[in-house]
Amino acid sequence: MRYEALMQRLAHHALPGEDEPNNGGAALSRREFLKLSAGSAFALGLFTLPQVAHAAGGGQALKPNEMPDAFIAVRTDGGVVIQVNRLEFGQGVYTALPMLLAEEFDADWAHVEPQLAPAGNAYKDPYMGMQMTGGSMSVKNSWLQYRDLGARARAMFVAAAARRWGVSPASCRTQDSQVLGPDGQRAPYGELAAAAMQEAVPDQVALKVPADFTLIGKPTRRLDSPAKVSGREQYGLDVHLPGMKTVLLAKPPVFGARLGRWDAAAARRVVGVADVFPVQLDRGASGLAVVAEGFWPAQQGRRALQVEWDTSGVEKVDSARQLAHYRELAGTPGLVARADDVSALGQAAHRLHAEYEFPYLAHAPMEVLNCTLHYSGERCEIWVGTQFQTMDQLAVAKVLGLKPEQVVIHTQMAGGGFGRRAVPTSDYMVEAAWVAKGWRQAGHVEPIKVMWTREDDLHGGYYRSAYLHRVDIGFNGSGRILGWKHTVVGQSIVAGTSMAPFLMKGGIDHLVVEGIVDTPYRLPMHLEVHQPEVNVPVLWWRSVGNTHTAYVMETLVDELAQQSGIDTVAYRKQLMQGRHPRHAAALDLAVSQSGYGRRTLPKNHAWGVAVHEAFGSVVAYVVEAALENGQPRLLRATAGVHCNLAVNPLTVRAQIEGAALMALSTTLPGNAITLKDGVVQQDNFDTYAIARMNVMPEIDVHIVPSADPPMGMGEPGLPPLAPAYANAIARLTGRRLRRLPFDLS
């Protein structure tokens, strides 16, 4: 079952007590909506909910996420304000979603102003039933929603203008935020806003065909870039409220450990420290909250604490012992995820045995986690960059004993996340709520900002799981695969969470085996899985299971091609048997644009190839690598992308470039989270390697033309880069790299 389908199952069950979660729940009142949107320039909104609660012609009541007034407002000066129902943290939805709406609304793009929507029923994903950003689903799932919203709004403005002029709406057209009449009349949207508010929303609208698009599909500069490149952008970490205090948490060094004896006398003597008190933490742990007038006194106060931690009763993970245990498990029967007939394996003329190791990985976004809260006892306002507004709203409400509607989340820009801001336990939000509760119980009323340092971030858990793969393949002299026996060992992401009943089938977490069980290659496979429980919190990490499965599959297929004496591109197509045209198109495009097979490379240079589908999009890389002073270097990567229609080609290119660089990080020595006696050994970027500008290769991105509905692009560019690079290194050195990060010592 694919990730999207699994998430849809979750959406129908994970939010008890909500009205029909898949249609967005109960409608917000106009007053509630304006309250949630305070300060967002919505004083001149388009519509009022009582007037649009039912579609024109007495049709079925519209769902909250179908009503334009929650998403669009036109000011009298012609400015078009569009609410973005996702988190913007680098992936480009702040531009792409307004493009969809503005296209059908015929808005003047020069006057479009996006805003990040607060938590609210209207802003829930139309398919997921919850407000969220993840799974590369933002544009894919809002493709029709935002276009319908724009088309409905356009129809209402046309109706208002036609009524003013006494003409048929069919005789009017729209262009650049104005309605044009049959006799040369012109009415700017800003003049029509009040009248348009009186028109009923049509239940059905005709959408443009791709040939008529003026915005969609055109390279469009991002609307958030000017503020970001000038340093004027405000992120969650930049929020400052009057009287606000800054909080740092003292956490145990071992996950799940608890606070023992402690002495805060020295911390309280630090100038600027306002209070120190115990607080509940994630995963049953406990620690101390240091509340101060700013970050520096909070940091000095935390350093001055005298704390003894109770680590009894919690597992103290050691990376070396864990790897040995995983190897033992790989030799035992596991849960069967795929059961093709592999009986011919034993009679194969050729055998390939391989074992792969993948470490824990931290998300390490540039902006560390943070959460600003103002809790009054009856209401809690939160300013945060979160991927899971609905789930976080529920989690915070539970801690504070409030109803979800009493928790107001103002979505902030986020400086990265890669999955870390989408936590089923809402860990950093819940911890902040416990601090706010303790602060309030102590008689304080000031808002607080709970911050993480980089050290907190790397020690704080929710990593990409560590995995071990063991593979035994039998094939004949012509490269035909007779049997493929595959075992994966690694923690489940969702086991033990509220999502487990909906994201696991037969005890197997699909996210562990995606990219293997659904490989495009036609081969007989027996796939088994072990999902040990380990005292290390894990989470999806950009492209989820594909981070490791693509590496295994694409390096093995490449090795089989090499051992069979077949060109690696031709061999992949041979294994697909003509059944995956989108894979072939992406691969062919990357090959043709790279010069593979036509251009002769210099000495000590080599090609590497990989192709992989994730979240509905296919990305193929043809890379060129070299050996410099005995060390590999990725020189350039040519990407062929099949994401169906590219709403904004510039964003697609940017996502490929960013994903490729993040994937390159996974190959660099030091890009691993390791534990010894339960303690994470990495502290900052001096001990946890990430790719920097000096290793950035040239990246050339080419998109397969398509008019089909768009697929996701936030994650698919990551999985095939590392295996393509490894395949090039294998041709340079003769060594097959079975471990990430690379080790050529």
> Quick one: three-class SS letters along 511-528?
HHHCCCCCCCCCCCEEEE
> What per-residue confidence (pLDDT) applies to 61?
83
Work out how many domains the chain is built from and give that number.
3
Establish how many alpha carbons lie within 13 A of residue 590's alpha carbon, considering only the half-sphere containing its beta carbon. Answer: 33
Contacts of 151 (CB under 8 A, 6+ apart): 104, 105, 205, 206, 207
Please indicate, yes or no, whether residues 261 and 139 belong to a single structural domain of this protein.
Answer: no
In a domain, 744, yes or no: no
Whether pTM exceeds 0.95:
no
Residues 556, 352: Cα–Cα separation, whole Å: 9
Is residue 426 a contact partner of residue 412, using CB atoms and an 8 Å limit? no
In a domain, 545, yes or no: yes
Please indicate, yes or no, whether residues 394 and 530 belong to a single structural domain of this protein.
Answer: no
Please indicate, yes or no, whether residues 673 and 603 belong to a single structural domain of this protein.
Answer: yes
In a domain, 73, yes or no: yes
Residues 596, 600: Cα–Cα separation, whole Å: 8
In a domain, 325, yes or no: no
Residues 107, 101: Cα–Cα separation, whole Å: 8
If one counts every other C-beta atom within 10 angstroms of the C-beta of residue 119, the result is 25
Dump pLDDT digits (tens) for 137-163: 999 999 999 999 999 999 999 999 999
Supply φ then ψ for residue 384, to 5 degrees.
-160, 150
**Is beta strand 380-384 parallel, antiparallel or unpaired with respect to 407-411?**
parallel
> What per-residue confidence (pLDDT) applies to 17?
30
Residues 42, 22: Cα–Cα separation, whole Å: 27
Q: Which of 430, 451, 472 is the last residue of a domain?
A: 451
- The residue ranges of the chain whose pLDDT is under 70 are 1-60
In a domain, 572, yes or no: yes
Is residue 719 a contact partner of residue 614, using CB atoms and an 8 Å limit? yes
> What per-residue confidence (pLDDT) applies to 20?
31
Please indicate, yes or no, whether residues 529 and 650 belong to a single structural domain of this protein.
Answer: yes
Please indicate, yes or no, whether residues 393 and 266 belong to a single structural domain of this protein.
Answer: yes
Please indicate, yes or no, whether residues 211 and 268 belong to a single structural domain of this protein.
Answer: no
Please indicate, yes or no, whether residues 425 and 502 belong to a single structural domain of this protein.
Answer: no
Domain that residue 270 falls in: 236-308+369-451
Please indicate, yes or no, whether residues 613 and 597 belong to a single structural domain of this protein.
Answer: yes
For residue 587 the two structure tokens come to: 């691969």
In a domain, 581, yes or no: yes
> What per-residue confidence (pLDDT) applies to 499?
78
Is residue 469 a contact partner of residue 487, using CB atoms and an 8 Å limit? yes
In a domain, 127, yes or no: yes
For residue 560 the two structure tokens come to: 């089989």
In a domain, 721, yes or no: yes
| CA-closest candidate to residue 14, choices 476, 425, 515 | 425
Q: Which of 214, 230, 246 is the last residue of a domain?
A: 230
Please indicate, yes or no, whether residues 519 and 397 belong to a single structural domain of this protein.
Answer: no
Is residue 380 a contact partner of residue 355, using CB atoms and an 8 Å limit? no
Please report, for the domain that includes residue 301, its CATH number: 3.30.365.10
Please indicate, yes or no, whether residues 541 and 401 belong to a single structural domain of this protein.
Answer: no
677-705 burial, b at 16+ Cβ within 10 Å, e below that, comes to ebbbebeeeeebbbbeeeeebebbbbbbe
Please indicate, yes or no, whether residues 175 and 299 belong to a single structural domain of this protein.
Answer: no
Is residue 65 a contact partner of residue 123, using CB atoms and an 8 Å limit? yes
Is residue 678 a contact partner of residue 116, using CB atoms and an 8 Å limit? no
State the Cα angle at 272 between 269 and 274, rounded to 5°. 80
| CA-closest candidate to residue 302, choices 458, 453, 460 | 453
> What per-residue confidence (pLDDT) applies to 197?
87
Find out whether the peptide bond into 602 is cis, omega within 30 degrees of 0. Answer: no
Q: Which of 230, 261, 293 is the last residue of a domain?
A: 230
Compute CA distances 529 → 319, 337, 463, 615, whole Å: 20, 7, 20, 22
> What per-residue confidence (pLDDT) applies to 207?
98
**Is beta strand 80-84 parallel, antiparallel or unpaired with respect to 112-116?**
parallel
> What per-residue confidence (pLDDT) applies to 594?
98
Please indicate, yes or no, whether residues 273 and 406 belong to a single structural domain of this protein.
Answer: yes
Residues 561, 623: Cα–Cα separation, whole Å: 17
Dump pLDDT digits (tens) for 383-428: 999 999 999 999 999 999 999 999 999 999 999 999 999 999 999 9
